[in-house]
Amino acid sequence: MNLKIKEKIGNRDGFSLIELLVSLAIMSLIGSTVIYNVFSFNSSKILLNQAVKLESVLRSVQLQAVSEEEGTAWGIKIFSQVGSDDKYETFSGSSYDSGTVDDVFYLPSELQFSNPTGGNAIEIVFTQGTGATTAEYIDIDIMTTGEGHRLYVNSDGAVTLIKGGKGLVGYYKLDEASGTTAIDWSGFENNGTITGATVNQIGQVDKAYTLATTDYVTVSDPADGSLDFGTGDFTLMAWFKTSDTTSEQNIITKGGTSNAVAGYRLSVNDLGSGGDIWVGLSDGTTLSSCALGSGYTDGLWHQVAMVTTRSSNVITVYVDGDLLDTCSTTSTTGSASSANNFTISYTDSTEDFVGSLDDVRVFNRALSSSEVNEIYEETR
What residue ranges do the domains of the chain occupy?
39-166, 169-379
Tally of residues, the chain: 380
pLDDT at residue number 337: 97
- The two beta strands, 355-363 and 121-126, are unpaired
Instruction: Give the residue from 79, 88, 81 showing the smallest Cα distance to 60.
Output: 88
The correct CATH number of 169-379 out of 2.60.120.200, 2.30.30.90, 3.40.50.300, 3.90.1200.10 is 2.60.120.200
pLDDT tens profile 92-130: 999 999 999 999 999 999 999 999 999 999 999 999 999
With beta carbons less than 8 A apart as the criterion, state whether 215 and 199 touch: no
Distance, in Å, from the CA atom of 377 to the CA atom of 320, rounded to the nearest integer, reads 9
Residue 6 has pLDDT above 70, yes or no: no
Give strand pairing partners of 167.
none
First to last CA, the chain: 70
SS3 for 318? strand
pLDDT band at 9; cut points 50, 70, 90: very low
pLDDT tens profile 40-88: 568 999 999 999 999 999 999 999 999 999 999 999 999 999 999 999 9
With beta carbons less than 8 A apart as the criterion, state whether 154 and 160 touch: yes
Distance, in Å, from the CA atom of 380 to the CA atom of 360, rounded to the nearest integer, reads 13
With beta carbons less than 8 A apart as the criterion, state whether 66 and 129 touch: yes
For the entire predicted model, the pTM comes to: 0.84
pLDDT at residue number 272: 61
Residues 6+ apart with CB under 8 A from 90: 57, 60, 61, 74, 75, 76, 101, 102, 103
Distance, in Å, from the CA atom of 30 to the CA atom of 57, rounded to the nearest integer, reads 40
pLDDT tens profile 326-367: 999 999 999 999 999 999 998 666 688 999 999 999 999 999
pLDDT at residue number 174: 97
pLDDT at residue number 244: 86
pLDDT at residue number 26: 54
- Please provide the average confidence, as pLDDT, over all residues in the chain: 90
pLDDT tens profile 264-293: 999 998 766 678 999 999 999 999 999 999
Segment 215-236 mean pLDDT: 97
Q: Could you tell me the CA-to-CA distances from 76 to 52, 222, 301 in Å, in that order?
A: 16, 29, 40
* Eight-state DSSP code of residue 367: P
Distance, in Å, from the CA atom of 219 to the CA atom of 211, rounded to the nearest integer, reads 17
Is the domain spanning 39-166 CATH 3.55.40.10? The answer is yes
Give strand pairing partners of 209.
357
pLDDT at residue number 7: 38
In this chain, the answer to whether the domains covering 39-166 and 169-379 adopt an identical fold is no
Distance, in Å, from the CA atom of 187 to the CA atom of 320, rounded to the nearest integer, reads 26
pLDDT at residue number 336: 97
Distance, in Å, from the CA atom of 44 to the CA atom of 105, rounded to the nearest integer, reads 19
pLDDT tens profile 185-215: 999 999 999 999 999 899 999 899 999 988 9
Instruction: Give the residue from 274, 281, 374 showing the smallest Cα distance to 326.
Output: 281
Segment 169-177 mean pLDDT: 96
CA atoms within 13 A on the CB side of 119: 2
Phi-psi region for residue 157, left (φ > 0), alpha (ψ -120 to 50) or beta?
left
Distance, in Å, from the CA atom of 222 to the CA atom of 228, rounded to the nearest integer, reads 8
pLDDT tens profile 126-148: 999 999 999 999 999 999 988 99
Segment 166-187 mean pLDDT: 95
Q: Could you tell me the CA-to-CA distances from 120 to 17, 53, 184, 199, 367 in Å, in that order?
A: 56, 21, 25, 40, 25
Considering only residues 292 and 9, tell me which one the structure prediction assigns the higher pLDDT: 292
Residue 17 has pLDDT above 90, yes or no: no
The dihedral of CA 201, 204, 205, 211: what is its sign? negative
Residue 22 has pLDDT above 70, yes or no: no
pLDDT band at 27; cut points 50, 70, 90: low
pLDDT tens profile 228-267: 999 999 999 999 999 988 788 999 999 877 788 999 999 9
Distance, in Å, from the CA atom of 364 to the CA atom of 100, rounded to the nearest integer, reads 37
Q: What are phi and psi of 322, to 5 degrees?
A: -115, 150
pLDDT band at 20; cut points 50, 70, 90: low
